[in-house]
Amino acid sequence: MILFDKRVSYVKKVTNHCFKRKLVKWFLFFSILSLCKTLFVQANEVSIIRRKCTSFEVKQHEYRERFRKLPTFRYDCEDPYPELDKMHEEISDLEAEMDKLQESAGLFEVNVPDYKQLKVSDFLAVPSCCGVS
């Protein structure tokens, strides 16, 4: 009877040990699976941010071409100030969009171009003598 009890306790120990090993294996499997899902979501978000950067680059270039053709900076322009105000608002909107893009890119460690043209356009549209910064 004692021998039988020892065998039963041994079987219980082995079974319990095997169950724990299987539990650990399943835990590791689901951990790796959730990590893969997270990496997939991160890679998807990085590609979305890069696509937004490209789109913003195109938008900035189009605005710059439109900016260069405006008659506001010509000598024969009758009333340039309303146009300057409108340009300042458009540039402020573009800068706000650029800041959002840089913030989201910083979260996912994506390199974003500097967008120097936008800063130059802002410098030209709002001269320092106007007192607007």
Task: Give the pLDDT confidence of 98-132 residue by residue, as tens digits.
Answer: 999 999 998 888 888 877 776 666 655 554 444 44
Number of domains in the chain: 1
Domain assignment present for 133: no
Domain assignment present for 33: yes
| Beta carbons of 60 and 115 less than 8 angstroms apart | yes
- The predicted model scores a pTM of 0.65
> Residue 24 is part of which domain span?
2-127
* Alpha carbon of residue 49 to chain centroid: 5
Write the pLDDT tens digit of every residue in 44-83.
Answer: 999 999 999 999 999 988 988 888 888 887 888 888 888 8
